[in-house]
């Protein structure tokens, strides 16, 4: 009876091992794809161009506020002119804070939009690679990944070819 159980377990173990050997798994590092892929780099450059004018304007206003603050600190008189410049500085700071807040909100919104497009393209690339190379499972993140199953470089190279979306 024990010999029979041993042989059944041996056969079952052999079948399980054979099935496991046919199972192909890949893992990608999404953060790396979002940093290093051509579409991600293009998206970052596009956003920088799009927001550079507003950023320069905000920096110019911040410089004006700093200069006005320095003038007010040097001028210790308490005349009407001083009070007017103090009010001007307060209004400038309020406007500057509003512009900075709006800039951050708009920038984050655009980054999220571009990120979603890059992720969509990356997912299509992963699917194409998985179908082409017959992967059974592709994971986007893992606590540990053996370099043998890491296909991040393949995804980044695939995205650089512009094969995604028929481009």
Which regions in the chain score pLDDT beneath 50?
4-12, 14-18, 167
What integer pLDDT is reported at residue 16 of this predicted model?
42
The pLDDT score that the predictor gives to residue 18 is 43
Cα dihedral sign for 83, 84, 86, 87? positive
**DSSP state at residue 150:** B
| Model confidence pLDDT, tens digit, residues 101-146 | 999 999 999 999 999 999 999 999 999 999 999 999 999 988 888 8
Whole-number pLDDT of residue 20: 56
The residue written with tokens 């994971």 in the block is 139
Q: What is the pLDDT, as a whole number, of residue 84?
A: 87
86 by Cβ neighbours in 10 Å (0-12 / 13-18 / 19+) ranks as middle
pTM of the model: 0.72
Could you state, in order of their start, the residue ranges of all structural domains in the chain? 22-166
Give the Cα separation of 54 and 60 in Å (integer): 10
Q: CATH code for 22-166?
A: 3.30.910.20
């Amino acid at each position: 009876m024990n010999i029979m159980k041993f042989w059944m377990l041996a056969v079952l173990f052999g079948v399980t091992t054979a099935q496991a050997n046919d199972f192909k798994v890949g893992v990608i590092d999404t953060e790396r794809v979002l940093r290093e892929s051509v579409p991600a780099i293009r998206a970052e450059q596009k956003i920088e161009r799009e927001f550079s004018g507003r950023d320069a304007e905000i920096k110019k206003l911040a410089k004006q506020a700093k200069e006005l603050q320095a003038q007010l600190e040097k001028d210790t008189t308490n005349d009407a002119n001083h009070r007017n410049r103090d009010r001007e500085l307060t209004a400038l700071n309020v406007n500057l804070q509003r512009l900075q807040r709006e800039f951050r909100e708009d920038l984050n919104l655009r980054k999220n939009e571009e990120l979603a497009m890059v992720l969509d393209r990356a997912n299509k690339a992963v699917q194409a690679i998985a179908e082409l190379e017959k992967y059974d499972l592709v994971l986007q993140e893992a606590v540990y990944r053996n370099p043998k199953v890491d296909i991040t470089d393949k995804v980044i190279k695939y995205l650089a070819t512009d094969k995604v979306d028929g481009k």
